[in-house]
Amino acid sequence: MGTRERDLELLIPVAVPPLMPPNGVSKSSSSSSSAAVSSNSSLHHNAGKEAFCKVIRSWASKKFMSGCVILLPLAITFYITWWFIHFVDGFFSPIYSHLGINIFGLGFMTSLTFIFMVGVFMSSWLGASVLSLGEWFIKKMPLVSYIYSASKQISAAISPVLMITTIPDQNSQAFKEVAIIRHPRYGEYALAFITSTVALQSNMGEEELCCVYVPTNHLYLGDIFLISSKDILRPNLSVREGIEIVISGGMSIPQILTMVDAHMHTIRVGSFAVPPV
């Protein structure tokens, strides 16, 4: 029995523990350390790549916006100019087309010449008489009279000097003078145009009010106020200069405005300090 048990022990394999590598470092620890090093290097590479892409995108977007800011006003200017030339050229170009003359710009030059000749003719006594007769016929038309009156008032407001010199009757429809009023609250002022004067009668007596027009959207849209003439500041600006200030968004306003009243008030644009009236 002893020899049989010994033979069985020789036949059964015995598990042998694995050999340890030198310096006591296992294979699993070495593989994990190499994986950590490779992951760190890949993370650093991806971070640098993303930062570089962000810099490129920021630079490209800034340059693109700069190009848009520069080219957009030029494109709008050329488009409006081109449209205006075609619009004016279309008045007389069909006549030249029927005559067999196809020269671009000839109708435009003819239209400008025609407008100039109308201005010269209307400056004379005969032209003013013809215009008065034509206006008399237009005012007899129900709908056309309102459209013509509104358009005429806008033209007179935009260029009052020309309207007064050519058609003296339009002085009552033009802007009288430039004014500065307190609006919309105390401490703030607005540029306005005096259009007419009104006498307000009450039990306390009669008070003179000025009808002022305050543009809110360039020149064609605005608010109308009735303000006492004592509360209005009158700067030494002509109506044409006031219109240029409104159209330019205030960029053409002088640095110092002097009042034309008896006390000669002065307004400085830097601090915009206006003494009380």
* pLDDT tens track for 109-158: 888 898 889 888 888 888 888 888 888 888 888 888 888 887 777 666 65
Whole-number Å distance between alpha carbons of 30 and 268: 80
* In the block, residue with structure tokens 């009243």: 261
Q: Which residues contact 9 (CB under 8 A, 6 or more apart)?
A: none
- Among the listed residues 94, 59, 166, the one whose alpha carbon sits nearest the alpha carbon of residue 123: 166
265 phi, psi to nearest 5 deg: -65, 155
Calculate the alpha carbon distances from 27 to 34, 41, 211, 231 in Å. 11, 22, 97, 95
Q: Compare 230 and 271 and report the one with higher pLDDT.
A: 230
Please check the confidence at residue 219 and state whether its pLDDT lies above 50. Answer: yes
Q: What is the pLDDT of residues 233-255, one digit of tens each?
A: 888 888 888 888 888 888 888 88
Alpha-carbon gap, residue 242 to 191, rounded angstroms: 8
Measure the CA–CA gap between 194 and 179, rounded to whole angstroms.
Answer: 7
Average pLDDT for the chain: 74
pLDDT in tens, 194-210: 888 888 888 888 888 88
* Per-residue pLDDT, 268: 42
pLDDT digits (tens, 9 = 90+) for 23-32: 444 444 555 5
Residue pair 112/88 in contact by the 8 Å Cβ criterion: yes
pLDDT value at residue 39: 61
Average pLDDT over residues 213-234: 82
Q: Write the pLDDT tens digit of every residue in 169-203.
A: 444 446 788 898 888 777 788 888 888 888 888 88
| Reported pTM | 0.45
Asked if 259 contacts 266 with a C-beta cutoff of 8 angstroms, the reply is yes
pLDDT at 272 exceeding the cut of 50: no
225/231 Cα distance (integer angstroms): 12
d(CA 226, CA 197): 9
Percentage with pLDDT > 70 across the chain = 69
pLDDT over 70 (residue 97): yes
Element (H, E) at 6: helix 2-11
